[in-house]
Amino acid sequence: MTGHWLAIGLALAWCAPIVLVVWRFRDTRSLDEYPPAPPADAPLVSVIIPARNEAPNIARCLRSVLASAYPALEVIVVDDHSSDGTGDIARAIAAEDAAARRVPGESRASRQPAPRVRVIPAPDLAPGWFGKQWACQAGAQVATGPLLCFTDADTSHGPELIPRSVNAVLARGADLFTVAGRQEMVSFWEKVVQPSVFALLLARYGGLEAMSRSTRPLDKIANGQFILVRREPYERIGGHAAVRGHVSEDLRLAQVFTEQGLAAHMLLAREHLSTRMYTSLDEIRRGWGKNLFAGGRDTLPLGPITSRILPFIFPLPALVPLVPTVILVLALLGVLGTGALWFGVIAGAVNLLFWIGVYAFSGLNPLWGLSHPLASVVFSGICAEAAWKGSQVEWKGRRYESS
């Protein structure tokens, strides 16, 4: 009987981190707390969209930005040497927007509103730069607003995203502001893997408000799908040049702001920003694979020894959720004793409830939570491949060496 109580105690101890993750997440605030009406004398927001071979996405993204309720916008699409017509699509939408805003009967160009959209080519990629950072820097150099908004071409903006975000920046005194939006998941593998990845990120960083309040750079993260910065501190740190060689430029940008004593804040905005990051297992593998290890090193206080062993242990955290399931199966097969059965039942039940909640929060049928063992195996494999590649990164036809 003592063995049973020991197993129950171990199960409860194993469940404690899950409870802690849920408890920490309660300290998360929403963008909905800030008003949707633009502030008086709304400052100009320059929206910069770096785009490389984004023909399937750019129209949706650009039209959603132009549909914003914010009155003072300029949009700069940086066509990064696309070969699929991305620039042509953006230019066509820019012409449509200019025509729709033209004042009827006014022949003088000086009386017509200035075009809101510019499509510019990215210069040839400079050595030591990642393509996205290079395109963002190019867009920032021609932007005229005191607020710069960097957003990915695969995003869709709600009409209140920018006005609420500007109000949040002003109310919070944030120098860098970012949001966690909704992830669109359509295919089988998106639904299996994506919630698991974001749950592990949640376990690492905890509630967004605690992250916002922290002054410790390693506690900071940003979502490159939407980052709003004040121009002056952005230029003070050197702009995207400060993170030019880091594959996870969003995370590193938040860290650099914090290192300089600047405020980096993050809110939940699931109703205002949505993104379909990847559409297949191969895209998931390549997309997360480029970020996880090379970028994940920026989230850890690494020394000479830990840097050496990190590649070998990097895939293991993704497998931790499998522990109760494996022990329960082995106990049911008679390989392990009744103590293990107690552990598997209790820890497995709590574990399953957690994952059901994760998948439900992600907007999926809660029964997708049953797929979490498969997600753990796949994600661990992605981590292993990423660790094997090390700092070598390949993305959209380019090869990089991450800092």
pLDDT of residue 356: 96
pLDDT band at 294 (very low <50, low <70, confident <90, very high): low
Question: Domains in the chain and their CATH numbers?
Answer: 2-25+299-401 (no CATH), 34-181+223-278 (3.90.550.10)
pLDDT of residue 386: 84
pLDDT of residue 372: 94
Residues 143, 20: contact at Cβ < 8 Å?
Answer: no
Burial readout 240-258 (b: 16 or more C-beta within 10 A, e: otherwise):
bebbbbbbbbbbbbbbbbb
Least confident of 103-112, 287-296, 311-320, 324-333: 103-112
Whole-Å CA distances, 198 to 71, 195, 374: 33, 5, 15
Residues 153, 51: contact at Cβ < 8 Å?
Answer: yes
pLDDT band at 1 (very low <50, low <70, confident <90, very high): low
Average pLDDT, the chain: 90
pLDDT of residue 400: 83
pLDDT of residue 200: 86
pLDDT of residue 99: 87
CB neighbours (10 Å) of residue 267? 24
| Contacts with 76 (C-beta within 8 Å, 6 or more apart), sequence order | 46, 47, 48, 49, 117, 118, 119, 120, 139, 142, 143
pLDDT of residue 25: 87
pLDDT band at 387 (very low <50, low <70, confident <90, very high): confident
Is residue 389 within a helix (H) or strand (E), and if so which, with residue range? Answer: helix 372-389
pLDDT of residue 108: 57
pLDDT digits (tens, 9 = 90+) for 354-386: 999 999 999 999 999 999 999 999 999 998 988
Top pLDDT among 2 and 119 is at: 119
- The rounded distance, in Å, linking the Cα atoms of 294 and 317 is 16
pLDDT digits (tens, 9 = 90+) for 231-241: 999 999 999 99
- Percent of the chain predicted with pLDDT > 70: 95
The beta strand positions in 87-205, using DSSP E, are: 117-121, 147-151, 155-157, 176-180, 182-183
pLDDT of residue 5: 77
Top pLDDT among 401 and 261 is at: 261
- The rounded distance, in Å, linking the Cα atoms of 268 and 182 is 9
pLDDT of residue 75: 98
- The rounded distance, in Å, linking the Cα atoms of 296 and 298 is 5
Sheet arrangement for strand 155-157? 155-157, 273-275, 182-183
The beta strand positions in 38-151, using DSSP E, are: 45-51, 73-79, 117-121, 147-151
Sheet arrangement for strand 226-230? 117-121, 73-79, 45-51, 147-151, 226-230, 176-180, 264-268
The beta strand positions in 171-270, using DSSP E, are: 176-180, 182-183, 226-230, 264-268
Q: What's the whole-number mean pLDDT along residues 151-168?
A: 97
The beta strand positions in 287-362, using DSSP E, are: none
Task: Read off the tokens for 110.
Answer: 């000086």
**Nearest partner of 146 among 39, 46, 41, 263, judged by Cα:** 46
Burial readout 161-190 (b: 16 or more C-beta within 10 A, e: otherwise):
bbbbbbbbbeeeebbbbbbbbbbbbebebb
Full-prediction pTM beyond 0.85?
Answer: yes
Q: What's the whole-number mean pLDDT along residues 156-163?
A: 98
Q: Look at residue 62 and give its three-state secondary structure.
A: helix
Q: What's the whole-number mean pLDDT along residues 18-23?
A: 88
